[in-house]
Amino acid sequence: METMKAAVFHGQGDLRVEERPVPEPGPGEALLRIKYCGICGSDLEAYRYGLYEPGIVIGHEIAAEVAAVGPGVAGLAPGDRVTSNDIVPCGECRYCRTGRVSICDAVTMPGVTCDGGFAEYMTVAARALYRLPDGVSDLQAALTDPSSNALHAVNRSGLRLGDRVLVIGAGPIGLLIVQAALLAGARRVFVAEMNETRRCLAREMGASEVINPEVDNLDLAVADLTEDQGADVVFCASGSPGAMASTFTLVRKGGVVVPVGICEQPVAADFLSLVMNELDYRGTYASYDEYGLALDLMAQGRWRTEPLVSAVIPLEQIVAEGFEVLLQPGAAAAKILVRP
């Protein structure tokens, strides 16, 4: 039996690189040879809190090459360069039928609910794959998933041409939201971030103002930047309860808040401001249709991902040079890619 190296999740804080059999593609599936797999914030949370089933190979931000296809797969051949949607929807529930695929009732998620991409090979439903356009490198393609999620967050916000946007937290998703908001027609995008390296990245991604909320009073800074109105749209890409709580008064009356980061702790919600100011809070989870959009934007040269890549590490170092680095308080790294 042919074997491969894979990072297997064994519970809270326990991820091990082990030998596993190379999986066989079943009907409708493709076997992928992984080129890169990015470490996602959700992988970090799973590692820290033990959120996944023990025994699975995690990782879902992949760039790969088709190694083989199973029975019944048409339109894909070995050697094709691809990326995979991290959502494989049931296609039948009320949410799938109404286009809300990211909240499918019976979703399968490679690297979350079944084996994923921190491995030399993985199998995935062929219908979840996107062939990479010419001009999109494997390294770029490994950021299709977070790019798609950022585009989905902006789509969920209903951002309008000329809006002034605040992004709290300049991790990979926050940085990509800066770019997505500008593409969607934001007049100005302000970023609040404590880490200096990430503040520099935010400027590079097009933020017009970058605020360090540890030094400057964020409420006052945003008031000054918006003629005392508040931001039209606030994206909170931070898991800090304090940051999430602050959104209630950083947004203008009648504005929209999109919580993107996941707070593990309860948030002191200011329902009085929510009611009095008729605020809209809109959750955003993963993405689906925006995968194709992200790849198309990359192919056109209108979507940058390279500045976000802080390091490319071998699979064997996934814990020491990947998870542990990103979990350090105040980590400056944005995206770390694993190359099996």
Partner 1 sequence: MRFASMEYVKKMQEVLNSDEQHRRAAKGETDSYLLVLDPEPDKGVAERHIVGYSMVDGEVTEAWTGQRKTTFVLSAPYGVWVSILEGRLGPIAAMTTRRLKIRGNLLKLLSGSDSTLRMVELLRTIPTEFEGEYASVKLGQEAG
For the chain, the 3-state helix, strand and coil shares in percent, each to the nearest 5, are: 30, 30, 40
Under rule CB under 8 A, residue 276 binds partner 1: yes
d(CA 104, CA 146): 19
Q: Identify whether the C-beta of residue 62 lies closer than 8 Å to the C-beta of residue 118.
A: no
Which of 77, 106, 220, 327 is the binder for partner 1 (CB under 8 A)? 220
Which of 12, 217, 265, 300 is the binder for partner 1 (CB under 8 A)? 217
Under rule CB under 8 A, residue 223 binds partner 1: yes
Q: CB of residue 49 vs partner 1: minimum separation in angstroms? A: 27
Under rule CB under 8 A, residue 278 binds partner 1: no
Q: Identify whether the C-beta of residue 95 lies closer than 8 Å to the C-beta of residue 38.
A: no
Smaller CB separation from partner 1, 113 or 217: 217
Under rule CB under 8 A, residue 265 binds partner 1: no
Q: CB of residue 216 vs partner 1: minimum separation in angstroms? A: 7
Under rule CB under 8 A, residue 268 binds partner 1: yes
Name the one range near partner 1 by CB under 8 A: 134-142, 207-215, 313-321, 327-335. 207-215
Which of 214, 278, 306, 316 is the binder for partner 1 (CB under 8 A)? 214
Q: Which long-range contacts (CB under 8 A, 24 or more apart) does 320-325 make?
A: 322/39, 323/15, 323/39, 323/43, 323/44, 323/47
Enumerate residues 308-337 that contact partner 1 by CB under 8 A.
none
Helix pair 172-183, 196-204: axis angle to 10 deg: 20
Q: CB of residue 256 vs partner 1: minimum separation in angstroms? A: 17
Under rule CB under 8 A, residue 306 binds partner 1: no
Under rule CB under 8 A, residue 228 binds partner 1: yes
Which of 183, 245, 299, 313 is the binder for partner 1 (CB under 8 A)? 245
What SS3 state is found at 212?
coil
HEC states along 23-74? CCCCCCEEEEEEEEEECCHHHHHHHHHCCCCCCCECCCEEEEEEEEECCCCC
Smaller CB separation from partner 1, 117 or 213: 213
Which of 14, 204, 216, 296 is the binder for partner 1 (CB under 8 A)? 216
Closest CA to 244 of 211, 283, 217: 283
Under rule CB under 8 A, residue 215 binds partner 1: yes
d(CA 102, CA 36): 24
Smaller CB separation from partner 1, 45 or 280: 280
Cα dist from 160 to 185, 187, 214, 231, whole Å: 7, 9, 30, 12
Under rule CB under 8 A, residue 266 binds partner 1: no
Phi, psi angles (nearest 5°) of residue 44: -65, -45
Contact residues toward partner 1 (CB under 8 A) are 213-220, 223, 228, 245, 248-250, 268, 270-273, 276
